[in-house]
A and B are shown apart, each in its own frame.
Chain A
């Protein structure tokens, strides 16, 4: 097959629009006569909700109406679980508006609709809501002990508990020469897209309820909304416009995804709601807060024999759409890309009076790799082995593939790493950073007086979740292609990359610039599942590939019959049909489209791709840091991340994803942190307090894209490429800092590592 576009660094087609201010984000949609909604939110972490006094704002200027829990009580308005439904979770679902109890600061209690956002916010200050505060549950221990319960009727704050294992961990530990065990924690933070969430809903004259601002999983969300509103699915549409970043958090079904359409129906007008930054920090899914006690059994030569771990995730106040993805994936990826067959895991999900948790780029993996990679470094030190060497002795090798990772996730079938060359990915970063030399360099006194360190980390992570994805490819009247896909886009550049796939599947006969992508919106195509788990290219792209191949075959069949040639003798090139070996153009594709019509064939093809399993991406990170032991500040002098993506459809974009992901992942080590006080108050409710990496923070990141192990599970050979840059950041940076501070006897077991936290670990020198 001719493949002129896949693998090329095609510049992003969408960028011109974005960079010249011509993108259309949800806030750019301003329907005539739109009403504006704001949401009254709980100021308490935990309280009885005694009443919402709607009359308190009636008659205020611009006020159209107020919606409280009693207005939706007749609807089955619990937000369902989309992924990872673990046993027991059904008891802890969130309703769009709290009725008798609020369980986190920011929980919606009422919706105010007014003729302007200003009027709505003015009224919000006047709305009387009566609460009776209750003690808040904010720690793992308090959640477990259950002296105070979020859901008294459930009798527990433990949303679920399960054990999972493979092999025989007890036997492995019995054989061990060394066991390294630590209690470790990862910290709560969240996705911070430039564009916050937002929705506009309107039942238009044709009777269709349209909601703009949806993304990620619009088809599933439409189904959920249909159930909750009690309306047929086809009477509504969730429309995706340009999205300014999602990172896993945006596009899940949140309370507002019900409330805004509900308000539009109730008031018979377009209703608009744009999340402000404070609301974003208070109500959009949080992630990553987890504690774990992990033990790894080692043989004297550094062989990793087995692992035991207890993982507890702080889920916040409710189980939302992502169910147990975060704890379950953390547990699953704890063993990592190492030849360890004996593993025993205990997992629990705890409810606390904090914002509910969901997925964030590399959910669970970021935490798990941090826990494990720290322990490996500690073992290396105990065993007198070099940190690179101990990893090399244990990494999965190509000949181990496929490598069973057992049945560690209760709601999934057993899985196996499909293909991978981890040692090559690891060597790529150690070579690039000059590990052998740098290892000794960092030990020497530095002219700047700082302590230097080098840190390594390896990862494996899954992508390309099923169940399937469907795509339609149409030959347009002008001879270009129109691709219709069920995956959605939050800024990843799918227009470019999916066009490259379609172009090549069409033998390069139509260049990507002549290929249009329609995707995201719920009504576009049936059998779409959206964009998460790095599946848009892997699964969605494969469906497009199949559909384009199928259309090509159909087209050539019709043309061959028409021209009385053999289909094998026809080629597609530059928007035309040609005869193999001849430069003469037989017909423009636009004309061939007419032939198809005449032959009674539609000029399109629809195909569904159903992967047999998940794809696994592996890679490694290496960090060189300098620690100012007097201020606790860390400079990342060099950071290298490798990722074997199977096949890089567009290396430029894979590179961009990797760098962006690393900035996000390193930033979270030092900056991002959602802090709660003992009453469940969020103390980091603005961007003055919740810090996020900016472009000047980590300028020295390099990424290495590898294509050593094409996936055997899809026709593209592709694997996820958006998360590898983030998942090992905490691990590599923490290892580098620990390496730097080793002379001071400092161990790093807890995230984050901002200057205050780090300085506390560094013993103070007596004043001169």
Chain B
């Protein structure tokens, strides 16, 4: 389990990184290395050049403004999970964090790496989708914004084009009336989810749902919004029965993958349970958590 031969460069600027990516067609960006290094050692990847972006200070910047939260692509999982200002700005980040890997992986792994890697069972892509995040992508021709919805394209595939770098993730400001919930099932603590749900619900003063986002992950080749289920909640005062309905709507028509840890059938069956539990937690309706 030794990596195949590769050249290594650690540019100090985004421009430097982009230049290297432009010069070497099969170059790979190295962020936290928590997905890339195993792939190299298993010889599943054999890039000619590794472009290590860890020496680019800009990529680790965090800013919180009235417009929202902006996380540099190189911000580590552990910083997101342990910095109360970050989790305060986008509470879903804090709810998802305990489900991601373990200490050693969290201190190295980055949010940008997780998004660029695009594992369909990863937590951050689902959180980004449920929070209307926008990805800032930079390439030889300049920068562009990609909404989360258009960013994850499939298993290990994103909208990042060859030669491009994900530089930051922007989350819009979180309204005070927004509730969030997160639920997943994994084989062990810290394993990738078999299936999970990230939800946000906006409540009006009278308790009616004014808006909702329901995202399923691990249930298809990328995290997906479940708009019919969201629509079912809108304009209603959510109660246990409504959550059950929305949850089964959310799981309708999904075509989940099978793998060693969970069959498609398992995911189909558990997906609505995750949605229901995430909603129940978001809305503090413990009775909706229980099996009917």
Instruction: Determine if A630 and B187 form an interchain contact, defined as CB atoms under 8 angstroms apart.
Output: no
Asked if B43 is at the interface of the complex by the 8 Å CB criterion, the answer is yes
Stretch of B20-28, B126-134, B141-149, B263-271 lying at the A interface: B263-271
Docked CA distance A684–B291 (Å):
33
Chain B 238-280, CB-CB to A under 8 Å as 1, else 0, gives: 0001001100100000000000111101100110110000000
Q: Which B residues touch A629, using CB under 8 A?
A: 291
Minimal beta-carbon separation of B116 from chain A (angstroms): 19
Instruction: Determine if A449 and B1 form an interchain contact, defined as CB atoms under 8 angstroms apart.
Output: no
Asked if B42 is at the interface of the complex by the 8 Å CB criterion, the answer is yes
Instruction: Determine if B188 and A756 form an interchain contact, defined as CB atoms under 8 angstroms apart.
Output: no
Asked if B104 is at the interface of the complex by the 8 Å CB criterion, the answer is no
> Which residue, A629, A671, A688, has most C-beta atoms of chain B within 10 A?
A688
Instruction: Determine if A694 and B291 form an interchain contact, defined as CB atoms under 8 angstroms apart.
Output: no
Q: Which A residues touch B273, using CB under 8 A?
A: 630-631
Instruction: Determine if B1 and A764 form an interchain contact, defined as CB atoms under 8 angstroms apart.
Output: no
Q: Which A residues touch B272, using CB under 8 A?
A: 767
Chain A 730-768, CB-CB to B under 8 Å as 1, else 0, gives: 000000000000000000000000111001100011011
Question: Given the known A-B contacts A122-B4, A764-B269, are A756 and B189 also in contact in the complex, defined by CB atoms under 8 Å?
Answer: no
Docked CA distance A700–B145 (Å):
49
- For window 184-219 of B, CB contacts with A under 8 Å fall at 185, 187-191, 194
Instruction: Determine if B260 and A689 form an interchain contact, defined as CB atoms under 8 angstroms apart.
Output: yes
Residue of A nearest to B292 (CB): A768
Docked CA distance A171–B136 (Å):
80
Q: Which B residues touch A691, using CB under 8 A?
A: 187-188, 191, 261
Minimal beta-carbon separation of A491 from chain B (angstroms): 22
Instruction: Determine if A118 and B290 form an interchain contact, defined as CB atoms under 8 angstroms apart.
Output: no
Question: Given the known A-B contacts A755-B266, A759-B266, A764-B269, are A694 and B188 also in contact in the complex, defined by CB atoms under 8 Å?
Answer: yes
Asked if B289 is at the interface of the complex by the 8 Å CB criterion, the answer is yes
Residue of B nearest to A691 (CB): B187
Q: Which A residues touch B2, using CB under 8 A?
A: 117-118, 121
Chain B 1-31, CB-CB to A under 8 Å as 1, else 0, gives: 1111100000000000000000000000000
Question: Given the known A-B contacts A276-B1, A449-B290, A764-B269, are A755 and B187 also in contact in the complex, defined by CB atoms under 8 Å?
Answer: yes
Instruction: Determine if B266 and A632 form an interchain contact, defined as CB atoms under 8 angstroms apart.
Output: yes
Question: Given the known A-B contacts A449-B290, A756-B266, A759-B266, are A686 and B42 also in contact in the complex, defined by CB atoms under 8 Å?
Answer: yes
Q: Which B residues touch A407, using CB under 8 A?
A: none
Docked CA distance A495–B5 (Å):
44
Minimal beta-carbon separation of B217 from chain A (angstroms): 15
Chain A 670-701, CB-CB to B under 8 Å as 1, else 0, gives: 01000100000001101011010110110000
Docked CA distance A121–B291 (Å):
52
**Which DSSP category, helix, strand, loop or mixed, fits chain B's interface?**
loop
Instruction: Determine if A759 and B291 form an interchain contact, defined as CB atoms under 8 angstroms apart.
Output: no
Q: Which B residues touch A689, using CB under 8 A?
A: 260-261
Residue of B nearest to A694 (CB): B188
Chain A 621-660, CB-CB to B under 8 Å as 1, else 0, gives: 0000000011111000000000000000000000000000
Instruction: Determine if A768 and B266 form an interchain contact, defined as CB atoms under 8 angstroms apart.
Output: no
Asked if A412 is at the interface of the complex by the 8 Å CB criterion, the answer is no
Question: Given the known A-B contacts A118-B2, A449-B290, are A756 and B263 also in contact in the complex, defined by CB atoms under 8 Å?
Answer: yes
Which one of B1, B191, B292 contacts A278 once the chains associate, using CB atoms below 8 Å? B1
Docked CA distance A681–B260 (Å):
13
Residue of A nearest to B43 (CB): A125
Instruction: Determine if B260 and A449 form an interchain contact, defined as CB atoms under 8 angstroms apart.
Output: no
Instruction: Determine if A756 and B291 form an interchain contact, defined as CB atoms under 8 angstroms apart.
Output: no
Minimal beta-carbon separation of B254 from chain A (angstroms): 14
Which one of A118, A448, A694, A755 contacts B185 once the chains associate, using CB atoms below 8 Å? A755
Q: Which A residues touch B187, using CB under 8 A?
A: 671, 691, 754-755
Q: Which A residues touch B289, using CB under 8 A?
A: 449
Which one of B1, B194, B260 contacts A675 once the chains associate, using CB atoms below 8 Å? B260
Instruction: Determine if A671 and B188 form an interchain contact, defined as CB atoms under 8 angstroms apart.
Output: yes
Which one of B5, B38, B270 contacts A122 once the chains associate, using CB atoms below 8 Å? B5
Asked if A277 is at the interface of the complex by the 8 Å CB criterion, the answer is yes
Docked CA distance A632–B244 (Å):
19
> Which residue, A277, A697, A767, has most C-beta atoms of chain B within 10 A?
A767
Residue of A nearest to B266 (CB): A756
8 tightest A-B CB contacts, nearest first = A449-B290, A276-B1, A630-B273, A756-B266, A118-B2, A767-B248, A121-B2, A768-B244
Identify 19 residue pairs between A and B in the complex whose beta-carbon atoms are under 8 Å apart, listed by A's number: A117-B2, A121-B1, A121-B2, A121-B43, A276-B1, A448-B290, A449-B291, A632-B266, A671-B187, A683-B260, A684-B260, A691-B191, A694-B190, A696-B188, A754-B261, A755-B185, A765-B292, A767-B248, A768-B245
New contact pairs (7) apart from A756-B262, A759-B266, A764-B269, CB-CB < 8 Å: A117-B2, A118-B2, A118-B3, A689-B261, A691-B261, A694-B190, A760-B265
